[in-house]
């Protein structure tokens, strides 16, 4: 609402994003137009994305990830042990997920 009052109409399919990262902020100088990709890029550029153990729904630790990667066991066995599905184990092993862990 603040953006439309002070700046102009929000283009269809776009969102109002915040330079200040405060969702309740209505200061028009803190607002800009973007899409979901812009929002994600802004978040990552500012280091606000959580990953790994800091993520509250993470089922494994960085130590678990290292152990999974060096284990010689099959992925189904590892999945059962760590409470994950086989596909998640595969993504860890192939460094698609948890790629920040050496």
Structure tokens at 93: 């092993």
| Global confidence as pTM | 0.59
Clarify whether residues 62 and 82 are in a common domain: yes
- The pair phi, psi for residue 31, each rounded to 5°, is -105, 145
Domain that holds residue 6: 2-45
Give tens-digit pLDDT for 49-102: 788 888 888 999 999 999 999 999 999 999 999 999 999 999 999 999 999 999
Clarify whether residues 38 and 6 are in a common domain: yes
Judged by DSSP in three states, 87 sits in helix
**Does any domain span residue 13?**
yes
Give tens-digit pLDDT for 17-41: 999 988 899 999 999 999 999 998 9
Dihedral sign computed on CA atoms, order 30, 35, 41, 43: positive
Return the number of other C-beta atoms located less than 10 Å from residue 102's C-beta: 8
**Does any domain span residue 101?**
no
Q: In 3D, which of 98, 96, 68 has the Cα closest to residue 83?
A: 68
């Amino acid at each position: 609402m603040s953006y439309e009052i002070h700046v102009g109409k929000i283009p269809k399919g776009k969102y109002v994003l915040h330079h200040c990262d405060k969702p309740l902020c209505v200061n028009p100088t803190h607002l800009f137009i973007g899409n979901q990709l812009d929002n994600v890029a802004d978040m990552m550029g500012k280091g606000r994305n959580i990953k790994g153990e800091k993520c509250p729904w993470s089922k494994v630790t960085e130590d678990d990830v290292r152990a999974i990667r060096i284990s010689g066991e099959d992925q189904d066995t590892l999945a059962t042990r760590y409470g994950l599905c086989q596909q998640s184990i595969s993504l860890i092993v192939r460094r698609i997920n948890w790629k920040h862990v050496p």
